[in-house]
Amino acid sequence: MSTFVLEIGTEELPARFLANVEKELAERFTLGLEEAGYAFSRLDTCATPRRSVVIVEGLDDIQPTKEELVMGPPARIAFDAEGKPTKAAQGFAKTLGVDVASLSRTQTEKGEYLSGMKKTGGVPTLDVLAVLCPSVIAALPFAKRMHWGDGDFAFARPIRWMLALLGDTVVPFEIGKVTSGRTTQGHRVLGPGPFTIKTASEYVPTIVNEGKVQLKAGERREYIVGEGNRIAEAAGGRIIWIEGLLDEVQGLVECPVPLLGDFDPSFLELPREVLLTSMQEHQKSFGVEDAQGNLLPHFLTVLNLHPKDLSVVKKGWERVLRARLEDGRFFWKTDLEATFDQWLESLDSVTFLAPLGSMGDKTRRVSTLCRWLAEQVGQDAEQAARAGRLSKADLVSAMVGEFDTLQGIMGGIYARKKGETEAVAAALAEQYLPSGPDSPVPATELGSILSIADKVDTLVGCFGLGMIPTGAADPYALRRCALGITRIMLERGYRFDVKELFEEAQKLYGERKWKLAPAESLAKLNEFFVARVKNYFLTQGKETLLVEAVTAVEPDKVWALGQRLEALETMSRKDDFPQAAQTFKRVANIIRKQGHEAGVELGGVWRRELLQEPAEMALAEELETLFAAFETELAADRFDALFAMLAALRPAVDELFDKVMVMCEDPELRANRLNMLKALTLRMDRLADFSALQI
């Protein structure tokens, strides 16, 4: 048994590439070795900015052999009339690498066939790896590739060396004009090397101890957190860890060295968000706070080496951050001297989308739409309208001009400073929520209203211009807009009709030249939105058939969709749900075929005097009882009760189908029975499309 190690040495890879490189190497080498018939005790991968590594332990030195029976041509073709092998038999034997005499005949259902044992494997593992390594390296997926030198090979970054050892032997191959060998490089400064590795088992201790490289991402991350917490606690604070930033930082270094820096306490006059943005986005550093959550004048950064004079490096980082914070303080003071009226006037010179006017135009539309929405959900219409009008004002502020990720957030901060109500300020800060499938929705009513209005205005405008997402292309994030509206409506319990909302938003654009006619645009937008609602439910783990069943009924009432889906899910967990679904699907199919498709008008009203059979009399009585309570429960949105009522009705419907001929010859009786079922479907169709349930 031998150990195999592959190290792809490159110029610095972007931190965001590393996790995927580890995953792809693990999956591709595992698959390649298993397909070649190998078993192994361990396969591990790791990546740093300058190297991607695969280590496999417990590999046989010779590829395991395997024999399998292979069927050849029919015996009547393989041998001539004299019993001598034909060219077909000889070709089959050559394919298997055996003598014709070693072939045999096998009887199958289709007749007698020539067969033979095919032997695979038995090749030196060195040869197998020499083919597998370059094929895996060349196939690694990257968002961007680059060429270097005069070669045609492309990779994420130039490959500078390649170490490949099986035990003490080099696995020979070449890729990107780099030939594999036994030489590696360490940390650029602390252990540059080069190092000659005698055996694969020496690689890890050499690169760690002499090369001063921490190979494992988890270990780098753990060290950064542990050491960072230690030095922050010594300064009386705690680190504000950001998971995404922590992942990025550990991917930027091979030898992490956390360093606590300081800044002038006078900068604490700046908003917390400005200070943290300066540290996190521009300096890849972490903020420090006290036990009460107040920022302290410190920051944690991570070096990639142990400097000779730590104080000099510390001063350098502090100097760079100070320049950033000085800019922030200048922008802050400049913005505090400005007024919202000045910013609103400037918005008229900022383009939203060329055919859709300026940002000033957008805020006027959003303001009016916020007023309409507030009236629908019983909120303060004036406050909502004010939030809508101020929603984009901070886009022309000096601070957001420099720190664009703070748009909305700074709007809320400035609103408080400039005397706006807390409700308006909170709404401005929350207007871009939710920013993705996992981010929170706005915490306030006004923030929810503003977020919906802003997203709806964008959707209606883009669809009017024919800017409809296709495939993966969605430059204006319209899918995210639809998802955000859906999540807010479901979580807030807003009951307004989305179709009406789109129509109202379209009116606010006034008369203009659209690419799509207004009616066509709205139809496509409604179709798109319902598809996104379905997608949202499916991503939440809901069953496809249940989603299809409920979204076929009043899909524009999003909150009711969610409630009906939950109720149908509850019903689906009952043991008798398959039978119930089949029964109600049968009812729906009968009415569709014998009613609309047959050109028969069914009003859902039956005559009691025409009821003859006990089963239809019993069903009529239960239907009358159900109908009496149905509207009351529906008005109260008690969907669980409504679906439970249907489930309780199923035995009576089954009894009707078992004991009564619905499609009898007497046209009067037939119509009466169909109308009784029609009356049931009129209620069923307000809950779900049971015909969509393929149970």
Tokens of 501: 């909302």
Nearest to 504 by CA among 675, 374, 320: 374
Tokens of 321: 């951050």
In this prediction, residue 560 has a pLDDT band, given cuts at 50, 70 and 90, of confident
| Tens-place pLDDT, residues 182-204 | 999 999 999 998 999 999 999 99
pLDDT of residue 246: 96
**Cα 53 vs. chain centroid, distance in angstroms?**
28
CA distances in angstroms from 163 to 140, 185, 196, 677, listed in the order given = 17, 10, 10, 76
Q: Which one of 356-370, 462-476, 551-565, 629-643 scores highest in mean pLDDT?
A: 356-370
- CA atoms of 369 and 505, how far apart (whole Å): 7
Better-scored residue on pLDDT, 446 or 115: 446
- CA atoms of 85 and 503, how far apart (whole Å): 80
DSSP character for 432?
A: T
pLDDT of residue 580: 84
pTM of the entire structure? Answer: 0.80
**Cα 159 vs. chain centroid, distance in angstroms?**
32
Query: What one-character-per-residue DSSP string does 319-355 give?
Result: HHHHHHHHHHHHHHHHHHHS-HHHHHHHHTTSEEEGG
Virtual torsion, Cα 587, 588, 589, 591, nearest 10 deg: 80
- CA atoms of 15 and 24, how far apart (whole Å): 15
First to last CA, the chain: 53
pLDDT of residue 591: 83
Query: What one-character-per-residue DSSP string does 527-556 give?
Result: HHHHHHHHHHHHHTT--HHHHHHHHTS-TT
φ, ψ for residue 51, nearest 5 deg = -155, 145
pLDDT of residue 659: 87
In this prediction, residue 120 has a pLDDT band, given cuts at 50, 70 and 90, of low
**How many Cα atoms occupy the beta-carbon half-sphere of 293 within 13 Å?**
2
Taking phi over 0 as left and psi of -120 to 50 as alpha, with beta for the rest, 241 belongs to beta
Place of tokens 């917390």: 272
- CA atoms of 539 and 542, how far apart (whole Å): 7
Compute the average pLDDT of residues 52-79. 84
Is the link from the previous residue into 434 a cis peptide, with omega within 30 of 0?
Answer: yes
| Tens-place pLDDT, residues 606-652 | 888 888 888 889 888 888 888 888 888 888 889 999 888 888 888 89
Q: How many of the other CB atoms lie within 10 Å of CB of 571?
A: 22
Share in percent of the chain as helix, strand, coil (round to 5):
55, 15, 30
For residue 78, is pLDDT > 80?
A: no
For residue 419, is pLDDT > 70?
A: yes
pLDDT of residue 349: 94
Place of tokens 């306490």: 265
- CA atoms of 474 and 287, how far apart (whole Å): 34
For residue 695, is pLDDT > 60?
A: no
**Cα 434 vs. chain centroid, distance in angstroms?**
14
- Strands 351-353 vs 357-358: parallel, antiparallel or unpaired: antiparallel
pLDDT of residue 581: 83
What's the whole-number average pLDDT of the chain?
Answer: 91
Amino acid of residue 146: M
Class of domain 565-692: mainly alpha
Spatial contact of 191 and 211, defined as CB atoms under 8 Å apart: yes
Amino acid of residue 125: T
Q: How many of the other CB atoms lie within 10 Å of CB of 12?
A: 12
Spatial contact of 229 and 204, defined as CB atoms under 8 Å apart: no
Nearest to 464 by CA among 515, 512, 511: 515
pLDDT of residue 179: 95
Cβ-based neighbours of 571, under 8 Å, separated by 6 or more: 577, 580, 643, 644, 646, 647
In this prediction, residue 575 has a pLDDT band, given cuts at 50, 70 and 90, of confident
| Tens-place pLDDT, residues 230-252 | 999 999 999 999 999 999 999 99
For residue 598, is pLDDT > 70?
A: no
Taking phi over 0 as left and psi of -120 to 50 as alpha, with beta for the rest, 284 belongs to left
- CA atoms of 114 and 97, how far apart (whole Å): 15
Q: Which helix (H) or strand (E) holds 457?
A: helix 445-464
Residue 207: strand, helix, or coil? helix
Q: Which helix (H) or strand (E) holds 174?
A: strand 174-175
Cβ-based neighbours of 131, under 8 Å, separated by 6 or more: 173
pLDDT of residue 240: 97
In this prediction, residue 327 has a pLDDT band, given cuts at 50, 70 and 90, of very high
For residue 67, is pLDDT > 80?
A: no
| Tens-place pLDDT, residues 346-394 | 999 999 988 899 999 999 999 999 999 999 999 999 999 999 999 999 9
pLDDT of residue 114: 76
Q: How many of the other CB atoms lie within 10 Å of CB of 247?
A: 15
In b/e form, how buried is each residue of 521-539, taking b as 16+ CB within 10 angstroms? bbeebbebbbebbbebbee
| Domain at 342-541: CATH architecture | Orthogonal Bundle (1.10)
| Tens-place pLDDT, residues 480-513 | 999 999 999 999 989 889 999 999 999 999 988 8
Tokens of 625: 């009882």
pLDDT of residue 587: 86
Q: What residues does each domain of the chain span? A: 2-62+124-210, 69-120, 217-337, 342-541, 565-692
